[in-house]
Structure 1
Amino acid sequence: MDSAASQQSIIALDGWLRTPAGAYVREWEQACLNELTADIFGFNAVQIGVPQIDALAANRMPNKWQAATRTSTADQLAIAASGRQIAVALDFTDLPFASQSLDLVVLPHVLEFAAEPHQVLREVERVLIPEGQVIICGFNPASLWGLRQGMGRIARNPYLPVAGEFISMPRMKDWLKLLNLAVSRSHFGCYAPPCRTDKWLQRFAFMERSGQRWWPYVGAVYMVHAIKRVKGMTIIGPAWNKKSAASQQAVPATNRIEPRK
C-alpha cells in the first residue's frame, strides 16, 4: 500500500465510522480507552488518527494532543470527538516529537491503514520514554467481521473499508515484542454479527456479554496495551526513602537526649 492509497483508506475509514456499525465500534472503544487511560500518569500524551474518538478524554496528563495526517480535510478535522481542534498535522512514519519525550501514545486503527505499519511502530517506540505506554486499536481478522470481510472481497461487497490490512492479535504482539514493547493487557469487544443497521445490531446486543464469556478472542475489535521496556534499567524507589533510612542509621549516640536525674 503506497502513501496515497493509505490516505484514501483512512478517509474511507472516516466515512465508515459514521455508519451504525462504526458508531457501535466507537462506543465500545471509547469506554475501553477511558478505562485504560484513566490511571496512566505523566506529562505528554498523543492520540494519532481517528478524531471521531477522544482516546485521551479520561486521561489527566497536562499536555494532550490529537494528531492527524497532513492531507486531512477541514471537514475531517472538524469532527474531533473532544471538540478540540487537531493540534498536530504529521506524517505517521516521521513523528515530529523528540526521542523519549512522550509518556503515552494511542493508535486507534492507524497501523492497519498505514502504508508502513512497522515504521509507524518504530517511530512510536522512539518517541516514548522508558516505561512509556502505547495503546493500539485494531479490527480482528479472526472474527465474524473478519470472515464477512473476506467473503465481501470476493463478492466485491466488503463490510469494512477494503483497503485495510487487518493484523491479528498474535502478529501484533510479535511486532511489539521485537521493539521491546511488552504487552500488559489486551481486550476484545464488539461480538455482534456484521449487521449494517442499528436495529439489527441492537437485537444482537446480548452477544456482547455472551461473547466475553464463551468466545472472548473472536470479538470484531481488539485493543492492546503495551509498555516500553529498556534493557538494563532498574526502577528504584524515591530518593527521600533512602535519605530517611540513612539519616536514622547515622544518628550518633552522643545526640541522644538522656533523661534528667
Structure 2
Amino acid sequence: MRLTARDLEDFYASRLGETACYLLLKRVNDLWGDCAGRTILGMGYAHPLLAGLSANAKACMAVTPHHGKASYWSATDRGVSTCLAEEDRLPFADNTFDRVILLHAVEEADSPRQVLREAWRVLAPEGRALIMVANRKGLWSLAESNPFGHGRPWTRRQLIAWLNDHLFQVTASTTAVHPPPINFGPLMHMADGWERFGEALTPGLGGVVLVEAVKRLYAHPRGGAGAPVTEKAPGRKGVAQLPRNEADPGCAENL
C-alpha cells in the first residue's frame, strides 16, 4: 500500500527525517545554488525541500497525489503553495516551471513513465529536473521504517538510462544520505561526518540516488524503444501508381 502524505510528513518531522532532509537540501544547493527568480515545482512529497528554497525563489509549488480520505497536507511554511492533484495530470500549463524536484514521486507511482512525462511537460525549455529515489544498493531501501524502504528502489545507472529514454539529458548524478537509517539522537548529530565518510569511502552506497537532467526538445537518434507489434495490418490493395513509361515528359522539365 502506498504511503500517504501524512505518513511522509510524520517521517520528516522526526529526527531521522530532519537529518535526511538536511542532507538532501545540501545536495540541492550544491547543484542549483541560489534559486532567486526561479519557479520551482515539487512532485511527490518535496515540501520539506521547497521550504528551504522558498526564501529566494520566485514561486514554489508543492503537489502531491490524491489518495482518498488518507490524503493529508499541512501547509505551514511561508512561500510554498500546496495542492492535491493526480500525478499524471498536473493542473499546470506547459513550460511553467524553471525547476522540478521529484521526491517520493517515482518509486510507488502507478505509472512512473507518465509521472516523468508530466514533469517534462510543465518544465520550461532548458529547465532542470532533479529526481531523487531510493538507492537499491543502500541501507535505506532495506528498512521499511522510512519512506525510502517502500516501492521500487533504483540504481544510479538505471535512473540515468531511464531519463535518457524520456527526452532528458542527464547533467549530474550522485548519492546522498550516508548515515544508517537509525533514529538515534547522537548518531543524527554526526550526520555531516557520516556524509563525508560515505562520500570518500562508499560513494555509491548513499541511501538516495540523485540525478539532475535538462529538458530536451528532441529525441536522440536510436533512443527509446520501438512500439511492440500487436496486430498485423491487412494487406493493401489497389494502390494507385503512375507507370514510369506513361509519365508526362513535361513534368520532368518543370521540376
Q: TM-score, with normalisation over the residues of structure 1?
A: 0.70
Contact preservation (8 Å) 2:54, 2:79: no
Contact preservation (8 Å) 1:38, 1:59: no
**What is the distance in 2 between the residues matched to 1:208 and 1:141?**
18
What is the one-letter code of the residue matched to 2:30? E
Correspondence for 1:210: 197
**Could you tell me how far 1:184 is from its partner in structure 2?**
0.9
Matched, 1:83 2:69: no
**Could you tell me how far 1:97 is from its partner in structure 2?**
1.6
Counterpart secondary structure, 2:130 = strand
Correspondence for 2:247: none
Counterpart secondary structure, 2:9 = helix
Q: Which stretch has the larger CA shift, 68-77 or 205-214?
A: 68-77
Judging changes above 3 Å, is the alpha-carbon distance between structure 1 residues 222 and 145 closer, same or farther for their aligned structure 2 residues? Answer: same
Judging changes above 3 Å, is the alpha-carbon distance between structure 1 residues 56 and 196 closer, same or farther for their aligned structure 2 residues? Answer: closer
Taking only the aligned residue pairs, the percentage that are identical comes to: 24
Correspondence for 1:257: none
What is the one-letter code of the residue matched to 1:47? G
Contact preservation (8 Å) 1:47, 1:56: no
**What is the distance in 2 between the residues matched to 1:109 and 1:176?**
16
Correspondence for 1:119: 114
Matched, 1:21 2:16: yes
Q: TM-score, with normalisation over the residues of structure 2?
A: 0.72
Which residue, 155, 169, 174 being the options, matches 1:168? 155
Residues 75-99 of structure 1, C-alpha deviations (whole Å, 9 max, x = no match): 943255x334634321111111222
Aligned length: 217
Q: Which has the higher helix share?
A: 1
Correspondence for 1:152: none
**What is the distance in 2 between the residues matched to 1:75 and 1:97?**
21
Q: How does 1:150-165 map to 2 (within 5 A)?
A: 158-161=144-147, 163-165=150-152
Matched, 1:225 2:212: yes
**What is the distance in 2 between the residues matched to 1:30 and 1:79?**
19
Matched, 1:54 2:40: no
Which residue, 62, 86, 96 being the options, matches 1:101? 96
**Could you tell me how far 1:14 is from its partner in structure 2?**
2.8
Contact preservation (8 Å) 1:37, 1:56: no
Judging changes above 3 Å, is the alpha-carbon distance between structure 1 residues 127 and 75 closer, same or farther for their aligned structure 2 residues? Answer: closer
**Could you tell me how far 1:61 is from its partner in structure 2?**
4.6
Counterpart secondary structure, 2:161 = helix
Correspondence for 1:141: 136
**What is the distance in 1 between the residues matched to 2:51 and 2:120?**
19
**What is the distance in 1 between the residues matched to 2:41 and 2:155?**
24
Correspondence for 2:180: 193
**What is the distance in 2 between the residues matched to 1:52 and 1:98?**
24
**What is the distance in 1 between the residues matched to 2:10 and 2:58?**
31
Residues 166-203 of structure 1, C-alpha deviations (whole Å, 9 max, x = no match): 22221111111011211111232222223222223435
Judging changes above 3 Å, is the alpha-carbon distance between structure 1 residues 84 and 203 closer, same or farther for their aligned structure 2 residues? Answer: closer
Counterpart secondary structure, 1:167 = coil
What is the one-letter code of the residue matched to 1:195? I
Correspondence for 2:228: none
**Could you tell me how far 1:22 is from its partner in structure 2?**
1.4
What is the one-letter code of the residue matched to 1:128? L
5+ residue gaps in structure 1?
A: 150-157, 233-261
Judging changes above 3 Å, is the alpha-carbon distance between structure 1 residues 42 and 226 closer, same or farther for their aligned structure 2 residues? Answer: farther
Judging changes above 3 Å, is the alpha-carbon distance between structure 1 residues 230 and 59 closer, same or farther for their aligned structure 2 residues? Answer: farther
**What is the distance in 1 between the residues matched to 2:16 and 2:26?**
16
Contact preservation (8 Å) 2:101, 2:130: yes
What is the one-letter code of the residue matched to 1:228? K
Contact preservation (8 Å) 1:48, 1:67: yes
